[in-house]
Amino acid sequence: MTHPVITPELVALDVDFGATIPDVINNLAHTVATAGRTDDPAALAQAAIDREEKAGTGVPSGVAIPHARTAAVEAPTLAFARLSRGVDFSGPDGDAKLVFLIAAPEGGGKEHLKILSKLARALVRKDFLEQLRTADTPEDAVSAINEVLTTTKKKSATTPTGAAAATAATATTAANSHEGANAEGGAPESSGGGPVRIVAITACPTGIAHTYMAADALTQTAEGRSDVQLLVETQGSSSNTPLEARDIAAADAVIFATDVGVRDRHRFAGKPVIESGVKRAINEPGVMIDEAIAAASNPNARKVAAASGDEPSASAAAAGGTSAKGGLSWGKKIQQAIMTGVSYMVPFVAAGGLLLALGFLFGGYDMADGWQAIATEYSLNNLPGNTIVVDGAEMTFKRSGLLLYVGAVLFAIGQQAMSFIVAALSGYIAYALADRPGIAPGFVGGAISVLLGAGFIGGLITGLLAGLIAAWIGSWKVPNWLRSLMPVVVIPLLTSLVVGLLMFFLLGRPLAGIMEGLQNWLSSMSGSSAVLLGIILGLMMCFDLGGPVNKAAYLFATAGLSTGDEASMMIMAAVMAAGMVPPIALSLATMVRANLFTPAERENGKSAWLLGLSFVSEGAIPFAAADPLRVIPSMMAGGAVTGAVSMGLGVGSRAPHGGIFVLFAIDPLWGFILALLAGTAVSLLCVLALKKFWPQPAVAPVTEPAEVA
């Protein structure tokens, strides 16, 4: 059965949905549930709130479009609210009063996303917005929305806009026949006073809304101008038509309006470029076009590098990390590269660490002393006994037979996954800086770091070196016959050689000395020094609840697990326990004193406890976003207590993630539970006290959607 994207039951007009973003999103999610389109409004709301944390979804004209892909809905769904009290969604015009919740099913086909992208395009049309503002009934609003959803767009995103039709046709004909192109197939000569030819890429993380709104904002702005001809490629989730090579070759300048990496960025090598976050193209399309026109005639303008990586840079640029020439500052590039490396490394850590834990569960902890011999010398047809020979000496294990063998195999798989973490960190840092040519040198540098004992510190250094060197070599001007060999042979070869020589001759041993000193310090921790480290780690885990500080503490813990020493396992336990505190404490707080929390917070509290028990710190983000001054200090206090108690009791964890699902890998278990309970109690009491004696003005009854729809 095909469901309509929007129905009158999904519309609420002139309602007060609360004073904060989570309030509005939660009420819209309940509207979706009331209409029978989801059985899990909390999951739907959380997915949209998580997307909102990455970048506000406010757009011009007082409109907001929170959106997400989630398994909480089975069909593409729109909920619309016209608010009587506006809420700031970080839009350029202040508070938003027209709010759409766009929900796309997880794994839904591209046809679903095409429907949703049509709505996003319509939101830049003033006549459509006026229809929504003046709709008398939900049926009127649904009629206006369905009209734009069912209207076939007359002009694709890659249709030339701006300048006269004849000029565009002439330019296209010239491009097709390569008139004016140089002998080596480069860009045509300047059109001598004709319209400036610009190509643009728009992309946002989910690829549902902002991608297409930015494209249409640029397109509609260019349509009213005679000095520019614009082509846009949308790199969103619905089907996209790439720019043709001849159009790129004919372009005088490029606009990248993205919050994610540009796919196939190398196509634009050598073109003057203006780069920003996707929302700037929605808010300031005319300014960006003017900047691109200026760059086209400026010989010193920033250009797309030949070996430039598809770094996740635009969001940083939008946040203020741009250089004077319109690109990212080097500090931001390096920061983004390190975070990229960490994000690619974490799956190795999670998979490897959990497999190690399962190995212990099946084979027993003493299996770690002979796992390699058990896994390689025995089989399902030749199971080991209690006593086996390892390196010429007999060893006796508590378990035998199938359990011991399966445990050793799981442990072996986990060990191999863990052996990649430094190389993956280094390789993907280099990838973020230099694209694919940086991957091999980065992995080589990471492997050398492990060989020399430089560990994850060495991996950070080699990743940055490999990325910067590969990007520099990629910028060399080389003959055409050598150009095709650069990314697959020359750059990896030269970069691997330089990084390897630097590590062996200059950097490796000093970095290994730093790592050895750090490991010795960690191994010698006892008493007050261990407690102090636990406090610091607990504070970091609860400061931004999944943000950069939280991730830094987690990286510190997981990177040490590969050594297998007791101190590293103690750090891992403290970090995991502290990260579990905030969602559990806040969930309990909403149950103990519900009147201190908004309806949206109480709804979040129903599921936050499970997220906390699973070690998903992000479950506390809705509470912190709505009331940071009361929530964050309370959570940090509890995290500090948990970290201190865990380290003081010498609790260790062999698993890097999982919370209560990996209790079998934690020792002593009673110490871990005691630390978790102590920190949770402190956070619970602190947040209740702050909310009681320093009341939150926004806490007020929120009208339920069922009563106002």
For residue 595, count other CB atoms closer than 10 A to its CB: 10
The alpha carbon torsion through 184, 186, 188, 193 (nearest 10 deg) reads -130
Q: How far is CA 158 from the centre of its chain?
A: 28
Question: Which pair of structure tokens corresponds to residue 55?
Answer: 């970048």
3 state DSSP class of 62 = coil
- Per-residue exposure over 131-155, b if at least 16 CB sit within 10 Å of its own CB, e if not: bbeebeebebbbebbeebbeeeeee
In contact, 26 and 604? CB cutoff 8 Å: yes
Query: 446: Cβ–Cβ under 8 A, 6 or more apart, which residues?
Result: 422, 423, 424, 425, 426, 427, 458, 459, 462, 463
Q: Which of 112, 204, 210, 542 is catalytic?
A: 204
Residues 6 or more apart from 549 whose CB is under 8 A from it?
540, 543
Candidate list 67, 112, 210, 657, residue with the active-site label: 67
CA atoms within a 13 Å half-sphere pointing along the CA-CB vector of 510: 6
To the nearest 10 degrees (0 to 180), the angle between helices 439-452 and 491-502 is 20
In the chain, what is the straight-line distance between the N-terminal and C-terminal CA atoms, in Å? 25
Measured from the Cβ of residue 589, the count of other Cβ atoms closer than 10 Å reads: 27
For residue 104, CA distances in Å to 58, 110, 298, 392 come to: 19, 10, 43, 60
204 is catalytic: yes
Give the residue from 430, 428, 420 showing the smallest Cα distance to 350.
420
Q: Which of 78, 97, 93, 89 is nearest to 13 (CA)?
A: 97
Which residue is it, tokens 């399962």? 358
User: Of the candidates 616, 617, 609, which has an alpha carbon nearest to the alpha carbon of residue 589?
Assistant: 609
435: phi then psi, degrees, rounded to nearest 5: 65, -155
The 10 Å Cβ neighbour count of residue 185 is 11
Q: Would you name the residues annotated as active-site residues?
A: 67, 204
